[in-house]
A and B are shown apart, each in its own frame.
Chain A
Amino acid sequence: MYVIGITLWYNLLKNKINKYYIDAKIKGDDSMLDFIKKNNVKMSGEGEQAIIFAAGFGCDQTMWRYVAPQFEKEYRVILFDYVGAGKSDYSAYQSEKYKTLEGYAQDVVEMCKELRLKEVIYVGHSVGATIGMLASLQEPALFKQLIMLGPSPCYINDLPSYKGGFEREDLDGLFEMMELNYIGWANYLSKVVMKNLERPELAAELEGSFCSTDPLCAKEFARATFLSDYRHVLQQVTVSTCILQCKDDSIAPKEVGIYMNEHIKESAIFFMEATGHCPHVSQPEETTQLIFSCLANI
């Protein structure tokens, strides 16, 4: 804890981040830094303007590793993990809060407030885009621009007026497939093993306490994501929005991107050459370039 604290402090200093946090550290007030642990917040970069990169469903911040570093020269880059994903604090997971995406959005708002950020640029992939959009509805003043990579406000078809791309049974099939692939379990197992090495006496206890929460987070996040329907809030979005639409994305098809573009007032849509749902991984150069052009366009 002490070592982590020192490193954190050093990083904060290095990155000229708010005096406030340095004060917090000097005062020894760890509670001020709780959210950093909770969401595994990582900060880097030389610039003043903050840019947040939010991962999509089932992913953590490492998904941005080809793209985010490109912004460090000009921006202050902020990465984080959702509670229940990546290296977040799993003990902070509450089913009641995170059973809808608003819970995750609330964390984003809190993170911005704790970091004393204003007019943030928020880049969100997939459900991360929806979470950012919901956060902007909670606190519009915190956001300057939303850049959405493969977003969808609703994954289920609502024919004939809306084609989200999925029937309910497709999603049930996906949930089942996640279960069959032990999504959540792998993470859980590695963590238990890791902790085991450090403090073997805690192994049994950990197994007891984490046993159900970890795969549960994945399961509940999947439901919160794929069963959500935020079409009705699109028109309330006031922040300037850029939609980056991939080719052949079966999770967020073209029609969905166009639908969002039509319903968000201040929005523009860019059609990418990249295929699939994760262009920031498969085509990082194009993705980076497009994000830069979105930033230039504002």
Chain B
Amino acid sequence: MNEQLNYAPCSYLLLAENGRILDANFMLLQLLEFEMSELKGKSIQSLLTVPSQTFYQLFVLPIIEMEESVEEVYISLMSKTGKEVPVIMNAIKQLNDGEITISCAMIAIKKRREYEKVILAAKKEAEERNIAKKKAIQELNGLRKELENKQQELIGMNTMLQELAMTDELTGLHNRRGYSEKMVECISLFNKSGNPFSLLIIDIDHFKKVNDTFGHPIGDQVLKTISQMIQEKIGGEDIAARIGGEEFAVILGEANQRKALEVAEGLREYVAGSLWTIPTVTISIGVATATRGVTEQSIQARADEALYTSKEKGRNMVTHVAEIYM
């Protein structure tokens, strides 16, 4: 081997076609701490770490065989003392004195290898973190979905509870609370639109006597029947509520005095004219219509006043509060 190649700043290895070592330069022997006599005739495999042997067989050799050369292969040599020496290798298949040989030039890359190890470790960590992140996001998404479902459930239950809280159990009409809420809505609407609404306060005449004579089950039956009758006689937008023992309220959404009286009179007649299994039940009604500055208390007080008048005048009667002061 010529001196320049022998001491060139790279390791050089000459292989026979079958991978047996024919020659090596001084730099390679120094790098791997071998004597030439120890290497001659041995397979290149004996200079490689186990993973490198496999890699060489699987990738490097076939490429050399098929492409005649290979470039920039990263591979790890093994020194005589068992130290791993990572190198970058180029190899080329060529005719040498009439024989096919493989020339390999290698440059040790200790620093680069250390650096790459760090990069690879960082890459692996990043990949693992990415996987973990993806998983965490998936889990979070799952939880969020679950939460949303639960929320939806809660909203449903809340609506139901609200309905229940505003409903009178016996009659299915609104209860006092539901009535109050609707009243607030109606007043606010009236303040905006100026279209009057009316309030009917309905009281069953001599209801205490019904209860005392026929018992509470029959009394309840009467309450239910009256409720049904009220609902039959009012429009879909109107609101009926049971606000006391035998006391009902109806808010007629868009009704002036005349319209309200018509509905109230119709209802009174309907109740009085119905065929009751017990002595005829009648109702007394007080009516008031919203005027400017109306409040829940004021309109109810006026309707109550009208109801009182109906009772005073002998029951089974409708009075509009405006009629009292005519």
Contacts and interface: CB of A to CB of B under 8 A. Distances in A.
Contacts of B58: 56-58, 251, 277
Contacts of B49: 173
Contacts of A58: 58-59
Contacts of A57: 58
Contacts of A56: 58
A282 B57 contact: no
Nearest to A274: B18
Contacts of B19: 275-276
A250 B49 CA distance: 12
Contact of B54 (A174, A179, A183, A282): A174
A171 B49 CA distance: 12
B73 A181 contact: yes
A282 B66 CA distance: 9
Interface string A61-96: 011010000000000000000000000000000000
A285 B52 CA distance: 27
A120 interface: no
Contacts of A48: none
A180 B19 CA distance: 23
A281 B49 CA distance: 23
A87 to B, nearest CB: 15
B75 A177 contact: yes
Interface string B52-83: 11110111011001100000011110000000
Contacts of A172: 51
A183 B57 contact: no
Contact of B65 (A166, A171, A181, A282): A282
B116 A180 contact: yes
Nearest to B73: A181
A170 B50 CA distance: 6
Interface in A4-58: 56-58
Given A59-B62, A63-B66, A277-B57, A166 B116 contact: no
Interface string B239-269: 0000000000000000000000000000000
B171 interface: no
Interface string B158-179: 0000000000000000000000
A213 to B, nearest CB: 14
B51 A170 contact: yes
A173 B113 CA distance: 14
Contact of A281 (B18, B54, B65, B74): B65
Contacts of B191: none
Given A174-B51, A180-B74, A181-B74, A278 B59 contact: no
A171 B53 CA distance: 11
A248 interface: yes
Interface residues of B, number: 24
Contacts of B66: 62-63, 65, 281
Given A173-B49, A278-B62, A181 B54 contact: no
B272 interface: no
B35 to A, nearest CB: 24
Contact of A179 (B59, B65, B75, B120): B120
B25 to A, nearest CB: 24
- Interface class of chain B by DSSP: helix
Contacts of B51: 170-174, 176-177
B45 interface: yes
Interface string A215-253: 000000000000000000000000000000000111100
A111 interface: no
Contacts of B61: 276-278, 281-282
A223 to B, nearest CB: 14
A209 to B, nearest CB: 18
Nearest to A226: B54
A249 B45 CA distance: 10
Contact of A251 (B52, B57, B75, B120): B57
A178 interface: yes
B75 A176 contact: no
Interface string A152-184: 000000000000001100111110111111010
B43 interface: yes
Given A276-B19, A278-B65, A178 B55 contact: yes
A250 B53 contact: yes
Contacts of B73: 181
A281 B55 contact: no
Contact of A177 (B43, B45, B55, B62): B55
A166 B59 contact: no
A58 B61 CA distance: 12
A167 B53 CA distance: 13
Interface in B257-308: none
Nearest to B45: A250
A85 to B, nearest CB: 13
B271 to A, nearest CB: 74
Nearest to A250: B53
12 contacts: A56-B58, A63-B66, A166-B54, A167-B50, A176-B51, A176-B120, A178-B55, A180-B120, A248-B45, A250-B54, A275-B19, A277-B58
Interface of A: 56-59, 62-63, 65, 166-167, 170-174, 176-181, 183, 248-251, 275-278, 281-282
Given A166-B50, A181-B59, A251-B57, 14 more contacts: A56-B58, A65-B66, A170-B51, A170-B54, A171-B51, A173-B51, A174-B54, A179-B120, A181-B74, A250-B54, A250-B57, A276-B61, A278-B61, A281-B61
The 7 A-B residue pairs with the shortest CB-CB distance in the complex, in nearest-first order:
A173-B51, A277-B57, A170-B50, A174-B51, A281-B65, A180-B74, A177-B55
